[in-house]
């Protein structure tokens, strides 16, 4: 079965880097990628995770009081 | 050569600082936050790492409220010019550096009200005097944590609690103490902490910042510069969120790489251990100077009540001559004059002559203090 991916849109690259740090500490794999044009016109990066980790990811971010602006399944 | 000008900038730097800067230049080099490729992301990680290290050192709850910039002066200008409006009242002390005084005097001309609380000739500030100075429209209390002239520590925790109880913001200039004295933004009730990277945080020049506490509404903090942030590129208005709101333009990433390494070194060595070392050297220096006939020592004269910065004068010799001769004849580097702090010199009674200032740091040794005392002894004897 192929992996499905989800991206988290956040306010800025600074926020994406904070997400990356929080997820790294929580043991959740993620990758920072350029924001897909069809999701936003922003020139920064967003956080890409495996869709199966979405719930754990959102819980870890909520614990750090960091809410994504949007969560999009690719 | 003996370097005793650590109050101006620390030198040498710990292992790892230069290496971190060189690594960025040689192996990364990209612009953080301006692209999504791996080098740009790695550059962003370096900048974010500096935020995290600084937040950890000062127990700041959110690394994204660490606004990075060039130096403490820029940070103080951002806090003062960004938050104060005509009609607001501000309380500060008579021991401040011009990094606080000049922006405040300029703002005074634009309609803010300013009260400068007098300190004692040793540089001490009484918290009750801060409390007495508060008014109904007091927006902010601004204090340096330690004097850059005599090292005297100001009672920031008490002042912070007074400001908080009154509903005013508390801004602290930590230029002379950050990294060399324990500072806890939450315990010390600090709302705005301005720091420099190149003194006791052991980073390079060109690094510093302002930590914005959660009592400060970021949207009320007017940036002192506006421009590209790599975020919200579709907007022609400045972002409302931190740190982007106050960080326009490409940052000095090599300096921030070095800052992160410097702060990590401080965290590993431990602020308490650095403080203990500096207290030991400072006490030895003060006691030695007090034993030299013709030497006047200013400030608390007690290492426990000050940072490792000691100001003194030699009877019969101008500070400028002493500084030149210490350099030329003894290879001792120090700073003489008014140290960009005329108010502090008026307070301790040394305006306009100024003083000779020895600023010790984590890498100074007891042998260097003894050599410096020997040099001062010789100059004082000659001047009498």
Q: Which residue has the higher pLDDT, A44 or B207?
A: B207
CA distance B238 to B230: 11
Contact B231 A14 (CB under 8 A): yes
pLDDT at B90 over 90: yes
* Percent of chain A topping pLDDT 70: 95
pLDDT at A2 over 80: no
Nearest to B230 among A13, A18, A65 (CB): A13
Contact B64 A14 (CB under 8 A): yes
pLDDT of residue B34: 80
B255 with B87: CB under 8 angstroms? no
Chain B residues close to A14, C-beta within 8 Å? 33, 44, 47-48, 51, 64, 231, 243-244
pLDDT of residue A1: 55
- pLDDT tens-digit readout, B218-262: 999 999 999 988 888 888 999 999 999 999 999 999 999 999 999
Mean pLDDT of B156-176: 98
Chain A residues close to B62, C-beta within 8 Å? 65
Contact A18 B41 (CB under 8 A): no
pLDDT of residue A3: 84
B41 touches chain A (CB under 8 A): yes
B20 with B258: CB under 8 angstroms? yes
Residue B295: phi and psi, rounded to 5, are -105, 130
Contact B36 A33 (CB under 8 A): yes
Chain A residues close to B32, C-beta within 8 Å? 13
Instruction: Please name the helix (run of DSSP H) or strand (run of DSSP E) that holds residue A8, with its range, or none.
Output: strand A5-9
B96 with B341: CB under 8 angstroms? yes
pLDDT at B38 over 70: yes
Mean pLDDT over each residue of chain B, to the nearest integer? 97
B251 touches chain A (CB under 8 A): no
- pLDDT tens-digit readout, B359-382: 999 999 999 999 999 999 999 999
B174 touches chain A (CB under 8 A): no
pLDDT of residue B65: 98
Global pTM reads: 0.96
Task: Find the closest chain B residue to A11 by CA distance.
Answer: B231
pLDDT of residue B234: 82
Nearest to A14 among B36, B233, B243 (CB): B243
Chain B residues close to A20, C-beta within 8 Å? 45
Angle between helical axes of A13-25 and A54-63 (0-180°, round to 10):
110
ipTM score: 0.89
pLDDT at A39 over 80: no
Task: Find the closest chain B residue to A33 by CA distance.
Answer: B36
CA distance B90 to B68: 24
Contact A15 B239 (CB under 8 A): no
pLDDT at A41 over 80: no
pLDDT at B330 over 70: yes
Look at residue B305 and give its three-state secondary structure. Answer: helix
- pLDDT tens-digit readout, B102-114: 999 999 999 999 9
pLDDT of residue B267: 98
Task: Find the closest chain A residue to B61 by CA distance.
Answer: A64
* Percent of chain B topping pLDDT 90: 96
Class of residue B128 by CB neighbours under 10 A (exposed 0-12, middle 13-18, buried 19+): exposed
CA distance B127 to B131: 6
- pLDDT tens-digit readout, B192-209: 999 999 999 999 999 999
Look at residue B20 and give its three-state secondary structure. Answer: helix
A21 touches chain B (CB under 8 A): yes
Nearest to A12 among B35, B63, B230 (CB): B230
* Percent of chain B topping pLDDT 70: 100
Contact A15 B233 (CB under 8 A): no
CA distance B58 to B180: 12
* DSSP type of residue B340: T
Burial A31-56 (b: 16+ CB within 10 A, else e): ebbebeeeebebbbbbbbbeeebbee
Contact A12 B32 (CB under 8 A): no
- pLDDT tens-digit readout, B252-272: 999 999 999 999 999 999 999
C-alpha to C-alpha distances, B211 to A14, B105, B186, B246, nearest whole angstrom: 15, 23, 12, 11
Q: A44 falls in which pLDDT band (50, 70, 90)? A: confident
């Amino acid at each position: 079965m192929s992996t499905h991916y989800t991206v988290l849109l956040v306010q800025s690259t600074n926020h994406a880097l904070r997400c990356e740090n929080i997820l790294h500490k929580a043991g959740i794999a993620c990758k920072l990628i350029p924001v897909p044009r069809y999701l936003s016109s922003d020139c920064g990066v967003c956080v890409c995770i495996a869709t199966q980790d979405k719930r754990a990811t959102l819980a870890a971010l909520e614990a750090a009081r960091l809410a994504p602006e949007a969560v999009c399944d690719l | 050569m003996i370097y005793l000008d650590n109050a101006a900038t620390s030198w040498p730097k710990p292992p790892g600082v230069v290496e971190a800067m060189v690594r960025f230049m040689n192996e990364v080099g990209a612009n953080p936050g301006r692209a999504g490729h791996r080098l740009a992301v790695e550059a962003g990680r370096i900048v974010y790492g500096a935020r995290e290290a600084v937040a950890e050192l000062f127990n700041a709850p959110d690394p994204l409220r660490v606004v990075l910039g060039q130096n403490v002066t820029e940070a103080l200008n951002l806090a003062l010019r960004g938050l104060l409006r005509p009609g607001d009242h501000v309380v500060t002390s008579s021991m401040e550096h011009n990094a606080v005084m000049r922006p405040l005097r300029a703002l005074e001309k634009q309609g803010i009200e300013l009260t400068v609380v007098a300190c004692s000739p040793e540089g001490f500030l009484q918290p009750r005097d801060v409390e007495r100075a508060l008014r109904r429209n007091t927006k902010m209390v601004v204090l340096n944590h330690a004097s850059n002239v005599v090292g005297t520590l100001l009672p920031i925790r008490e002042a912070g609690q007074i400001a908080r109880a009154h509903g005013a913001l508390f801004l602290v200039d930590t230029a002379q103490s950050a990294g060399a004295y324990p500072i806890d933004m939450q315990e010390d009730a600090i709302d705005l902490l301005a720091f420099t990277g190149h003194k006791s945080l052991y980073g390079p020049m060109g690094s510093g910042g302002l930590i914005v506490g959660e009592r400060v509404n970021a949207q009320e903090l007017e940036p002192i510069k506006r421009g590209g942030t790599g975020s919200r590129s579709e907007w022609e208005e400045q972002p409302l969120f931190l740190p982007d709101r106050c960080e326009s333009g490409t940052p000095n990433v090599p300096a921030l790489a070095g800052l992160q390494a410097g702060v990590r070194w401080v965290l590993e060595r431990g602020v308490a251990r650095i403080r203990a070392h500096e207290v030991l050297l400072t006490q030895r220096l003060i006691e030695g100077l007090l034993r030299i006939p013709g030497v006047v020592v200013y400030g608390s004269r007690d290492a426990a009540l000050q940072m490792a910065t000691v100001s003194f004068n030699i009877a019969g010799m101008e500070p400028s001559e002493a500084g030149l001769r210490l350099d030329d004849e003894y290879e001792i580097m120090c700073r003489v004059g008014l140290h960009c702090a005329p108010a502090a010199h008026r307070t301790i009674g040394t305006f306009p002559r100024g003083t000779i200032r020895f600023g010790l740091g984590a890498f100074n040794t007891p042998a260097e203090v003894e050599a410096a005392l020997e040099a001062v002894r010789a100059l004082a004897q000659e001047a009498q």
